[in-house]
Chains A and B, each alone.
Chain A
């Protein structure tokens, strides 16, 4: 992997085009020749890998759907191609951790005002909730290859705010990231395309206040039909996932997570149906949790959300419905 990185740094110049006589005839010849030549992989021109935090993106999209409880109303108003305001009302219940297997819920209503500015080079997303908490996300492309991401949650109570600065550098077939956060959190990660389908990555982090540090490795193998990832870290976490794209509209996902510190093992199986008017995601867990989320587009600009989560072991039932207005 180290030699691959140095090779990509000293890239040889691309070979000159075969013939300048006529522009069109060489092209079909080249394209006809390409499928035969495709077996020989050009290791100097590998695609750029997926960012490190999105290595398990397909599995998360299918399996970590945002189920909610209660009523939800989201209104999005776009003032401009890139600027929009959102209002979000949610009335539901919040769980308090209780001793034993009882689940205690208290009713909780929130209103959140949001502003989004989406530009190719600058993305600003802010959410302000009724208890004074501000959630801020900034993504700024400083140069073509270097991006700065800031993620912060600020509260009125002192000492509970969190912030994280990420500097991302995108190379030809690698990506590297450096993170600085509050509570003296420093992290760095690096991911490299090794073959056309396989990319390997590593990360390290250090928390100053708790004097904890960790190292992790990740591997991702993706083809047109499936994506398999594996992740292992010195915090005692092993996570494997496999997503199979059965067709354009259906994909099935499975996930296995093992935490050595808390001796917690969880396997999840899920499905994701992406149909024309709706998107249905459901999953089944070895913790006895069955959940599903339906997003249906009733009319252009009106979306219906139905969510259900049943935890058979804890006898915790959560059902929610919501409406989204606006794009």
Chain B
């Protein structure tokens, strides 16, 4: 409840601040949209890279263990 009044002024203050400061720049909403898209794509690329780095070898092992004929876990872990 105390957070709501503090949250409401923030966006208003942010938008008002942006609109006020970028009065000369008419494309403030599209500029923010472009910036958000760039941030999201950067975040997606970074996450994809981390997922691929840690998950690629486990993915191959899972795909391989489910292929026919199915090998057993003992065959996977034993050295011969």
Enumerate chain A interface residues (CB-CB to B < 8 A).
77, 79-85, 113, 115-117, 119, 122, 124-126, 128, 134, 136, 152, 154, 156, 161
Known interface pairs A79-B75, A80-B71; A124-B60 also in contact (CB < 8 Å): yes
CB-CB contacts below 8 Å: B9-59 with A: 49, 52-53, 56-57, 59
Q: List 30 A-B contacts (CB under 8 A).
A: A77-B80, A79-B71, A79-B75, A79-B76, A80-B68, A82-B64, A82-B67, A83-B63, A83-B71, A84-B64, A115-B57, A115-B64, A116-B60, A117-B63, A117-B64, A117-B67, A124-B59, A124-B60, A124-B63, A126-B57, A126-B60, A134-B53, A134-B56, A134-B57, A136-B52, A152-B52, A154-B49, A154-B52, A154-B53, A161-B53
Contact B56 A161 (CB under 8 A): no
Residues of chain B at interface, number, CB under 8 A: 19
Tell me, in angstroms, the Cα distance from A28 to B57 when the chains sit together. Answer: 54
Cβ of B69 within 8 Å of any chain A Cβ, yes or no, is yes
Enumerate chain B interface residues (CB-CB to A < 8 A).
49, 52-53, 56-57, 59-61, 63-65, 67-69, 71, 75-76, 79-80
Q: Which residues of B contact A154 (CB under 8 A)?
A: 49, 52-53
Contact A85 B53 (CB under 8 A): no
Q: Which residues of A contact B68 (CB under 8 A)?
A: 80
Tell me, in angstroms, the Cα distance from A136 to B60 when the chains sit together. Answer: 10
Contact B69 A80 (CB under 8 A): yes
Known interface pairs A79-B75, A154-B49, A161-B49; A126-B56 also in contact (CB < 8 Å): yes
Known interface pairs A154-B53, A161-B49; A83-B59 also in contact (CB < 8 Å): no
Q: Which residues of B contact A82 (CB under 8 A)?
A: 64, 67
